[in-house]
């Protein structure tokens, strides 16, 4: 009787485990300079729960981490660490690395078998690509606008940055509250230029600057204790390509924005 009960418990456990979906995380660095191929690893957080740290490998090799996820959508956060001068440190601008090797994404466990992350040291950019159960790349499911689209180029720079406050920064672009683009990240003193496609017709265009502070991205707004609202919004009848130039003056708490 005892043996039978044990078998039942084991079978129930296996059945519960079988309902979990295996999702493999892979990551690698690009643009590594000679002599700087550090050992690296990822700290992993799933749905707010801290998981065991990944095994370490060289940045030039693919690292792997297996997750067994229950049915549904899960939020994953990775913070990459490099082994430098005898200790593990987070691979971030604050620790004088050329890229903020931190990313967040959502995974639908029923649809995704693999997530591939590439940290590009040359472009200071992080790419996240998901693959379906057959190994095919999943396209980002961004709501589509029908009809013709035009290019919009956005360039920005910060002025009068205080010493010690040159934060990692990025731009988000929304069309009628639909996110259509996220710029590569760079420190504020570098500024940036990037482009998106926006649909023809009457639309509300919203550009939001974000800063990376204490491990999270947050809107650069007065509500979040910044000196200026780095949010720019216009209703436009889009009938050609656009160029937007933003100059954010932290001293005068003012932004010059020019639309062409």
The CATH number of the domain holding residue 72 is 2.60.40
Same domain, 125 and 26: yes
Q: Which regions of the chain are under pLDDT 70?
A: 1-19, 139-144, 252-260
pLDDT value of residue 246: 85
pLDDT value of residue 257: 63
Residue 86 lies in a domain: yes
Question: SS in 3 state form for the chain?
Answer: CHHHHHHHHHHHHHHHHHCCEEEEEEEEEECCCCCCCCEEEEEEEECCEECCCCCCEECCCCEEEEEEECCCEEEEEEEEEEEECCEEEECCHHHCCCCCCEEEEEEECCCEEEEEEEEECCCCEEEEEEEECCCCEECCCCCCCCCCEEEEEEEEEEECCCCCCCCEEEEEEEECCEEEEECCCEECCCCEEEEEEEECEEEEEEEEEEEEECCEEEECCHHHCCCCCCEEEEEEEECCCEEEEEEEECCCCEEEEEEC
pLDDT value of residue 229: 81
Instruction: Locate 70 and state its tokens.
Output: 């229950």
Q: What CATH number is given to the structural domain containing 214?
A: 2.60.40.4150
Same domain, 27 and 129: yes
Same domain, 170 and 66: no
Same domain, 190 and 232: yes
pLDDT value of residue 10: 38
Same domain, 70 and 27: yes
Residue 204 lies in a domain: yes
Is the separation of the CB atoms in 25 and 74 below 8 Å?
A: no
Same domain, 157 and 221: yes
Same domain, 126 and 158: no
Unique residue bearing structure tokens 């809107």: 219
Same domain, 188 and 105: no
Which of 111, 138, 165 is the C-terminal boundary of a domain?
138
Same domain, 117 and 45: yes
Residue 14 lies in a domain: no
Residue 15 lies in a domain: no
Same domain, 131 and 34: yes
Domain count, the chain: 2
Range of the domain at 168: 149-259
Which of 138, 170, 205 is the C-terminal boundary of a domain?
138
Unique residue bearing structure tokens 């604050």: 94
pLDDT value of residue 12: 43
Same domain, 122 and 155: no
Which of 106, 138, 170 is the C-terminal boundary of a domain?
138
Same domain, 73 and 37: yes
């Amino acid at each position: 009787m005892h043996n039978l009960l044990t078998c039942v418990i084991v079978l129930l456990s296996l059945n519960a485990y079988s309902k979990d979906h295996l999702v493999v995380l892979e990551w690698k660095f690009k643009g590594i300079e000679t002599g700087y191929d550090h050992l690296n690893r990822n700290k992993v957080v799933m749905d707010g729960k801290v998981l065991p740290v990944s095994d370490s490998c060289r940045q030039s090799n693919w690292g792997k981490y297996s997750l067994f996820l229950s049915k549904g959508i899960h939020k994953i956060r990775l913070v990459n660490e490099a082994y430098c001068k005898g200790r593990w440190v987070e691979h971030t601008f604050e620790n004088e690395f050329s890229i903020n090797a931190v990313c967040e994404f959502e995974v639908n466990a029923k649809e995704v078998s693999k997530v591939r992350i590439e940290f590009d040291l040359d472009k200071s950019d992080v790419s996240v690509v998901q693959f379906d159960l057959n190994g095919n790349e999943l396209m980002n499911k961004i709501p589509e606008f029908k009809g013709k689209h035009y290019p919009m180029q956005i360039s920005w720079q910060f002025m009068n940055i205080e010493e010690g406050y040159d934060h990692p920064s990025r731009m988000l672009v929304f069309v009628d509250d639909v996110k259509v683009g996220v710029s590569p990240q760079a420190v504020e003193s570098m500024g940036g230029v990037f482009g998106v496609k926006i649909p023809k017709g009457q639309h509300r265009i919203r550009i939001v600057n974000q800063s990376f502070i204490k491990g999270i991205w947050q809107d650069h707004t007065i509500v979040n204790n910044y000196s200026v609202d780095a949010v720019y919004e216009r209703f436009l009848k889009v009938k050609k390509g656009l160029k937007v130039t933003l100059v954010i003056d932290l001293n005068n708490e003012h932004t010059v924005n020019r639309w062409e």
